[in-house]
């Protein structure tokens, strides 16, 4: 079943890269007591994700904060080393948190997994954006296959 507005984010553990290496971070740590804009991409370093999706959120991070968003996060079914390399490549510093969903457990738990095996990518996440307020989904924008519109930073900002 796909998550919907009003649902609570399930328990999940992501990986981040800290000063001492990979560190787990739970969905409770990410979302509890905060209003978070989180977006998911099918894969780090992929064309649309690198040229449009992540850069849009990086560029608009201050605009999200001005609209009451406490944090911006990016997730993908990639390992934390790939996510960290992608953040470095894209010049991401503290504008957003990079959350590795390495085994796709979060994507699956919210019903937004994607079978990209036809493209040689295996199980991935669908492209989407969510606003989560204290662990509850406030807004959800899921792209149709192959599209990039409703999960874009500008679109999400317009609908806050």
- Confidence (pTM): 0.94
Our separate counts of H helices and E strands in the chain read: 7, 9
Cα–Cα distance, 156 to 150 (Å, whole number): 7
Collapsing DSSP to helix, strand or coil, 67 comes out as: coil
Cα–Cα distance, 48 to 44 (Å, whole number): 10
Collapsing DSSP to helix, strand or coil, 83 comes out as: helix
Q: How many CB atoms lie within 10 A of CB 11?
A: 10
Cα–Cα distance, 98 to 66 (Å, whole number): 21
74 is catalytic: no
Each domain of the chain, given as residue ranges in start order, spans: 13-158
**What local confidence, expressed as pLDDT, does residue 122 receive?**
65
Cα–Cα distance, 69 to 4 (Å, whole number): 19
* Unique residue bearing structure tokens 């999940």: 12
**What local confidence, expressed as pLDDT, does residue 126 receive?**
94
The pLDDT tens digits along the chain (160 residues) read 899 999 999 999 999 999 999 999 999 999 999 999 999 999 899 888 888 999 999 999 999 999 999 999 999 999 999 999 999 999 999 999 999 999 999 999 999 998 777 777 768 899 999 999 999 999 999 999 889 999 999 999 999 9
Annotated catalytic residue: which of 38, 49, 74, 132?
Answer: 49
Structure tokens at 108: 């699956």
Q: How many CB atoms lie within 10 A of CB 18?
A: 11
With the C-alpha atoms ordered 154, 43, 137, 111, is the resulting torsion angle positive or negative? positive
Domain 13-158: homologous superfamily in CATH: Glutaredoxin (3.40.30.10)
């Amino acid at each position: 079943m796909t998550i919907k507005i009003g649902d609570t984010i399930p328990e999940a553990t992501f990986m981040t890269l800290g000063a001492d290496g990979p560190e787990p971070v739970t969905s409770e740590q990410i979302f509890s007591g905060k209003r978070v804009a989180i977006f998911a991409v099918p894969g780090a370093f992929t064309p649309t994700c690198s040229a449009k999706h992540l850069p849009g959120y990086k560029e608009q991070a201050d605009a999200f904060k001005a609209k009451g968003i406490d944090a911006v996060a990016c997730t993908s079914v990639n390992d934390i080393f790939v996510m960290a390399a992608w953040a470095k490549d894209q010049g991401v510093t503290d504008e957003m948190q990079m959350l590795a969903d390495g085994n796709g457990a979060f994507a699956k738990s919210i019903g937004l997994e994607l079978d990209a095996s036809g493209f040689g990518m295996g199980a991935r996440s669908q492209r989407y954006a969510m606003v989560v307020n204290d662990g509850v989904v406030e807004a959800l924008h899921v792209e149709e296959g192959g599209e990039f519109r409703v999960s874009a930073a500008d679109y999400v900002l317009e609908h806050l």
